[in-house]
Amino acid sequence: MNKKLLCISTNWPEANATAAGVRIHELLAIFISREFEITFAATSKHLEGQHTLKEKGITTQQILVNDPSFDLLLEEIAPDVVLFDRFISEEQFGWRVRDILPNALTILDTEDLHCLRELREEQNTFYIKQHKDAPYSLFDYVTDLDELNSRGLTKRELASIFRSDLNLVVSSFEMTVLVDHFKVPPHLCLLLPITYPKQHLQAHRASADYHKRSGYFFIGNGLHKPNIDAIKCLYFSIWPLIKKQHKLAEIYIYGAYLPQKIFKLHKPNIGFHIIGQVKDVKTPFTKHRVNLAPLRFGAGIKGKILEGFVYGCPHITTSTGKEGMDYTVNWPGEVANESKEFAQMSVTIYQDKAQWKKLKSEGYKLIDQSFERSVYEIKLFEYLTQISNCLADHRINNFMGSLLQEQQFQASKYMSLWITEKNKNT
């Protein structure tokens, strides 16, 4: 009999709209390859993304927070493995899973460390307020990890991580943060970045060469604040500097859910084009010559950078943009944390064919060596088999996790039960 996986999320994943959607579809593909029967349950009423799941043979189920109907669903499905898509899902539904299915193995896909992203967003907001003359210029800063320690979001996120049997971490930097800074036991964490099947990587090696591509581009969905900030950074700070050096330059901004304030930046007369959502995410990477990613804050790893490696499109980004992916001494892209330098590098790569081709080739090497799926898939299922075979011992060795499941530390559980009872009487 095939094993069963239940994936719980707040959203229906959209692989052509968000990097988070790409990530969850990747994980589902890994479990499909191992012949798991999969049910995907989400609280979102925005149903985009359901159809793609159903096409893959995945059962979909809309669920409610603070509702006992979820307990009945758990009993009906009786999954062997429960995958939480980000810590919010674990926080809302984890206690119900453990009450109803105490022997189900629980996995938390962190996506990125939300507390880290929130701290950096606040640092970015502070910079904007302090530099009203040039609020969207690039700036360099080092995150003080000690500032995370007292934050409420950090404590909530760490609690979910400790409660889970296994945590999937996409970023090598965030793995270090969890294990070295927060002292999360290494056996609770597995580094599993965004990965690509070997056949997918090989299928796109014939992408257009230097002279067949034109224009700069940026891609990122409008629901993600770092992307909105990066577009403003391009428009107000970097693009004027590029145009001074490259008079005929054109840039194209792609992304689902871009707000109206971004579409107002559509100025063809200065070569700044707001396109919006693209049906096929590979189109910008194979059509244009240089990928610009001036990310001033964020966390996790950046799908827009990895996609560039897949389709052979060189990039310029920031230290934040390449964080957690630098598995090689010679990073196959350019990194700049100051607007003038970023603009200069952008024009240089665009106009220097030899450098462009060199970065393209090195990007292929990095994606092949460090992000090919099969190696990570094997390791993931080795971990899952090992944990399943000694689940009781695994949990005994996670004392903090068992402590956080005690009644006095389960405020979210009892608040949820109170809301459930309250709803019955209304």
Same domain, 366 and 379: no
Instruction: Identify the pLDDT of residue 226.
Output: 97
Same domain, 350 and 385: no
Q: pLDDT digit string (tens) for 222-239?
A: 999 999 999 999 999 999
Q: What is the mean pLDDT of the chain?
A: 94
Same domain, 131 and 163: yes
- Give me the CATH number covering residue 73: 3.40.50.2000
Instruction: Identify the pLDDT of residue 403.
Output: 86
How far are the Cα atoms of 32, 258, 263, 302, 383 from residue 222, in angstroms, in the given order? Answer: 30, 4, 11, 15, 36
Instruction: Identify the pLDDT of residue 412.
Output: 66
Q: pLDDT digit string (tens) for 340-381?
A: 999 999 999 999 999 999 999 999 999 999 999 999 999 999
Same domain, 22 and 143: yes
Same domain, 149 and 285: no
Structure tokens at 183: 């002292």
Q: pLDDT digit string (tens) for 275-306?
A: 999 989 999 999 999 999 999 999 999 999 99
Q: pLDDT digit string (tens) for 99-150?
A: 999 999 999 999 999 999 999 999 999 999 999 999 999 998 889 999 999 9
Same domain, 222 and 125: no
Same domain, 145 and 209: no
Same domain, 331 and 210: yes
Which of the pair, 155 or 18, is modelled with greater confidence?
A: 155
Per-residue pLDDT for 409 more than 60? Answer: no
Q: pLDDT digit string (tens) for 77-99?
A: 999 999 999 999 999 999 999 99
Same domain, 146 and 263: no
Same domain, 38 and 77: yes
Choice among 43-52, 62-71, 341-350 with the minimum mean pLDDT: 43-52
CB of 252 within 8 A of CB of 278? no
Choice among 147-161, 182-196, 250-264, 326-340 with the minimum mean pLDDT: 326-340
Instruction: Identify the pLDDT of residue 426.
Output: 63
Mean pLDDT in residue range 298-317: 96
- Of 351, 370, 389, which residue sits at a domain end? 370
- Of 324, 349, 370, which residue sits at a domain end? 370
Per-residue pLDDT for 247 more than 70? Answer: yes
* Domain total of the chain: 2
Instruction: Identify the pLDDT of residue 411.
Output: 67
Give the global pTM: 0.93
User: What is the percent of the chain with per-residue pLDDT over 90, rounded to a whole number?
Assistant: 85
Same domain, 313 and 258: yes
Instruction: Identify the pLDDT of residue 330.
Output: 87
Domain that holds residue 79: 4-198+373-424
pLDDT band at 414 (very low <50, low <70, confident <90, very high): low
Same domain, 216 and 327: yes
pLDDT band at 418 (very low <50, low <70, confident <90, very high): low
Per-residue pLDDT for 207 more than 80? Answer: no
